[in-house]
């Protein structure tokens, strides 16, 4: 995925919804993202994210214990890059994509992973692939 985006994300503001381990968000910071907001509603995963951010001295990371869909539905900040990797086979991706599309800055992109991809009006895949049962793609507004 980072080959698609370019090795450097200098100055970008990113949202890592459904952060889980935070791998995508922490990688974005390591590649120069100015700011990464990670969303995780699970208490244990949220605590682990906070601990990892402290250990990594990741000062450009903000971690919120919140439901990603509720966050994306609410009006607020726009992002250059949004990562969507909901729990596998949860059925959350269609709504997350619709909501995330409204939170993109001009030229923004969405990276998504799921068992399958729904067609979402207004978004087009520029890159896509598959690893085992997981599909992944990079989407842009059309």
The tens digit of pLDDT for each residue in 100-142 reads 999 999 999 999 988 776 667 788 888 888 888 778 889 999 8
Q: Which residues contact 99 (CB under 8 A, 6 or more apart)?
A: 69, 72, 73
Residue 57's pLDDT band, with cuts at 50, 70 and 90, is confident
Asked whether residue 4 carries a pLDDT value surpassing 80, the answer given is no
* CATH label, 2-141, candidates 3.40.50.280, 3.30.930.10, 3.40.50.150, 3.40.50.2300: 3.40.50.150
What radius of gyration do the chain's Cα atoms show? 14
Which residue, among 18, 16, 23, 19, has the nearest Cα to 92 in the 3D structure?
Answer: 18
Residue 2's pLDDT band, with cuts at 50, 70 and 90, is low
Domain boundaries, the chain: 2-141
Determine the pLDDT at residue 72: 97
Cα distance between residue 23 and residue 1, in whole Å = 12
Determine the pLDDT at residue 134: 78
Percent of all residues in the chain with a pLDDT value above 90, rounded to a whole number:
65
Contact predicate 46/65, CB 8 Å: yes
Query: Full-prediction pTM beyond 0.85?
Result: yes
Determine the pLDDT at residue 91: 85
Residue 56's pLDDT band, with cuts at 50, 70 and 90, is confident
Cα distance between residue 112 and residue 138, in whole Å = 7
């Amino acid at each position: 995925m980072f080959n698609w985006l370019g090795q450097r994300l200098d100055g970008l503001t990113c949202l890592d919804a459904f952060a889980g381990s935070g791998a995508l968000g922490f990688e974005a910071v390591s590649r120069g993202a100015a700011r990464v907001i990670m969303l995780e509603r699970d208490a244990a995963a949220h605590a682990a994210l906070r601990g990892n951010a402290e250990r990594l001295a990741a000062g450009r990371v903000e971690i919120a214990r919140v439901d990603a869909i509720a966050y994306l539905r609410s009006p607020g900040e726009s992002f250059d890059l949004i990562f969507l990797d909901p729990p596998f086979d949860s059925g959350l991706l269609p709504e997350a994509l619709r909501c995330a599309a409204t939170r993109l800055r001009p030229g923004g992109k969405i990276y998504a992973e799921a068992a399958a991809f729904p067609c979402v009006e207004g978004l087009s895949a520029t890159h896509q692939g598959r690893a085992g049962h997981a599909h992944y793609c990079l989407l842009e507004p059309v």
